Amino acid sequence: MTQSDVRVKICGLRTASDVSAAAEAGAAYVGFVFFPKSARNVSIGEARSMAVSAPAGIAKVALVVDPDDALLDALLDQVPIDMLQLHGDETPSRVAEVRARYGLPVMKAVGIADETDLPALSDYMQVADQILVDAKPPQHADLPGGNGLAFDWRLVAGRRWPVPWMLAGGLDAGNVADAISLTGARQVDVSSGVERAPGDKDTDKITAFCAAAMAP
């Protein structure tokens, strides 16, 4: 498998032009954030508008943080979502519950800071369809992700897991090729690394990131 087979997720999109830019750059996934504390937060109506106009073939992902069923019911009733990304403190049992209730693939984000965080990956891999391996947020941080922080990629270098996984945390066009080379990741996720400012995506940065991640 070559680097050109790497799949890219552009997360935290807020406009239809963001979605178009991601699709034109070759992204496999677009992510919409439903978390009021985030500068990338969108309403259900805004997400619906973006999702229905998204090109065919691109996977639409809803990022939610410790959601209750009422939120998920309202969200999925209105927005054509292909995958749920659980990015809070959801337990393995809650992940399994969400997956069973809604019949959609579930990606669970797991924050990594050091080796003591690695066992959680195995726990969630038993119940999730995919794992997002992200940098663990600083203590008392307002955001569970999207902080522009990287972790020591050597912690996951060369590992083989039973479900697909995606590398996130501090990636940008300048370092994503090295991150892929070191870790063997076949999927990468970016949000702050393709922005002018929090929540303000830059089309040129999206294009450059996808090109660097998928370079032959």
Catalytic residues: 11, 134
List residues bridging with 63 in a β-sheet: 33, 85
User: 14 CB contacts (<8 Å, ≥6 apart)?
Assistant: 40, 42, 46, 199, 201
The answer to whether residues 202 and 28 touch, using CB atoms and an 8 Å cutoff, is: no
Name the 3-class secondary structure at 167.
strand
In which element (H, E) is residue 85 found? strand 83-86
What CA–CA distance (Å, rounded) separates 54 from 15? Answer: 11
The residue type at 8: V
What CA–CA distance (Å, rounded) separates 22 from 10? Answer: 7
Alpha-carbon torsion, ordered 48, 148, 197, 51, to 10 deg: -10
Encoding tokens for residue 153? 């990629």
Q: Dmax over Cα atoms in the chain, in whole Å?
A: 44
Encoding tokens for residue 117? 């965080």
